[in-house]
Amino acid sequence: MYIFGYLRASTNEQDAQRAKSSLKSFVEEKDHRVASWYWENVSGASLKRPELMRLLDDAAPGDAILIEQVDRLSRLNDEDWITLKALIQEKNLKIISLDLPTSHTALSAHINDEFTNAMLRAINNMMLDMLAAIARKDYQDRRRRQKEGIEKAKNDGKFRGRQADLNKHEQIYKLRVINGLSIADTAKLADVSYRTVIRVAKRYKANEPE
């Protein structure tokens, strides 16, 4: 069994390397190693992920996909999640996620009987579906709060001026508040000052519904 690490690329190189280090240590503690790493640069809410598709092409039946959190794969709408699961099941691949203990049994060599393996697969699939549903709801809730917060701020006249400024404010809000990027990363991506990031994020957060 080959193990392929699947990671989301981050604007914060330290965070990305931390995730890789955690996965590498986890696998080595189980006397396995990661055969190859795949770094994805696109949104986790889209199925258009070239690196994931490349991983699926490279993997052989019985291999495993190693991830840090289930939402790295599952933050999709229902149709896309079903499609992705079908692709994974078609190749008989295992999913091993640090935040899903039932998936760790894929690394246990002592579980050999067919009944136990079937039960563990069933439990793991059920947990994957449940965590996928939670990840989707969390993503949808954050998007809804984002939209409501922006609309409330506009209606309250908190942000006046050119449309370009409003678009910039929305970009800052998405990067800093919704996606949780650091002030430095947000400022760099939005091409604004640290002070602007702090000011805009604070105003939008104050307008988020409870």
Identify which of 180, 187, 184 has the alpha carbon closest to the alpha carbon of residue 205: 180
What sections of 30-113 are H helices per DSSP? Answer: 50-58, 71-74, 78-90
Relative to beta strand 64-67, strand 3-8 is parallel
Question: Which run of H or E residues covers position 7?
Answer: strand 3-8
CA dist., res. 109 & res. 118, Å (int): 15
Please confirm, yes or no, whether 103 is among the known catalytic residues. Answer: no
* Measured distance CA(207)–CA(195) in Å, rounded: 19
Instruction: Tell me which of 10, 25, 36, 193 is the catalytic residue.
Output: 10
Element (H, E) at 6: strand 3-8
Under DSSP, the state recorded for 98 is T
Among the residues of 64-162, which ranges form H helices?
Answer: 71-74, 78-90, 114-155
Q: Which residues contact 39 (CB under 8 A, 6 or more apart)?
A: 7, 8, 9, 16, 51
Catalytic annotation, residues:
10
